[in-house]
A = this chain, B = another copy of it.
């Protein structure tokens, strides 16, 4: 491991610690103004589904993008936590028996296993709703114009035309295998949209120009592709102990991925290309872009 890689991973862990600390405090049982009460069991399920030691990659990307463009750090952390709430809600719902029916997530029982199905559905709904609460709340110190833009962009990334729609396509793909274009669209929606938002959202927090915002968005799209490709590759090459969840699922379900179409050697080459293309997009920012460029490499090379 090189010094740069070492330093990057330390920074990523540090950011995850900060993200979890804020998330923990926001998901306490003390009601916020205008809330009538916070049911203990529901809050516990929301914490179970969100405070389970993920890498917090999306908030990290958002915070780094905002920082590179001179955005306010506290607001970036809060918007990052909002984004993580969306990500965690999607995992809780995807794990449900009616969906992917997973019993394990990061080595722990999934929310519907630890609690029950109804509570898992409501915990997901509540985390999704809470994401917009966090962005709009007065504690997020940003101009209302930027908050509106964040709400809109996040809703489009997460909704029927983005992540949730991608999950619908993914379920349909278990019955009728999509062609390559179909797989690309499915993945751009299911996992790409939220990673794209992480990068573009950081630019919005920084009040960036349309040009900078577009550039971060393009960067987000590249790493979104890389993230999914690495995931599909790991499903073939890794084992459950390393991943903390079931592997080999895609093949078992006859689900088409770019790896099943083009093979693992192609995928490894393609991951390298995507990391380079993503890095190149950020060259205009010089050394300030170093961490995001390392993040692109980290995502392409990840082993868990």
Residues of chain A touching chain B, judged by Cβ–Cβ distance below 8 Å, are 31-39, 41-43, 46, 89, 93, 96, 98-99, 116-119, 121-122, 124-126, 128-130, 132-133, 135-137, 143-145, 147-149, 151-162, 164-169, 171-172, 185, 188-189, 192-193
Assembly stoichiometry (copies): 2
Cα–Cα distance between A148 and B151 once the two chains are bound (Å): 9
Query: Per a CB cutoff under 8 Å, which of B39, B96, B165, B167 touches A169?
Result: B39
CA distance A96 to B93 in the complex (A): 13
Structural contact, A129 and B128, CB atoms closer than 8 A: yes
By beta carbon, the residue of chain B nearest A160 is: B126
Distance, CA A34 to CA B165, complexed state (A): 13
Q: Tell me what chain A mostly uses at the interface: helix, strand, loop, or mixed.
A: helix
Selected A-B contacts with CB under 8 Å, 7 pairs: A46-B160, A121-B121, A122-B167, A130-B159, A144-B148, A147-B148, A147-B151
* Nearest Cβ on chain B to A161's Cβ, whole angstroms: 3
Contact A161–B96 (Cβ < 8 Å): no
In the assembly, what is the distance between CA of A89 and CA of B33, in Å? 24
Identify the 8 closest CB pairs spanning chains A and B, nearest first: A35-B161, A98-B117, A133-B155, A144-B144, A129-B159, A136-B152, A126-B160, A136-B151
User: Would A155 and B136 be within 8 Å (CB), given that A99-B118, A148-B144, A164-B42 are in contact?
Assistant: yes
| A31→B132 CA distance, assembly (Å) | 22
CB of A42 within 8 A of CB of B129, answer no
CB neighbours (8 Å) of A158 from chain B are 129
In the bound complex, how far is the Cα of B154 from the Cα of A99, in angstroms? Answer: 28
Residues of chain B contacted by A144 (CB below 8 angstroms): 143-145, 147-148
In the complex formed, the residue of B with least CB distance to A146 is B144
Name which of A93, A165, A171 has the most chain B CB atoms within 10 A of its CB: A165
CA distance A153 to B144 in the complex (A): 15
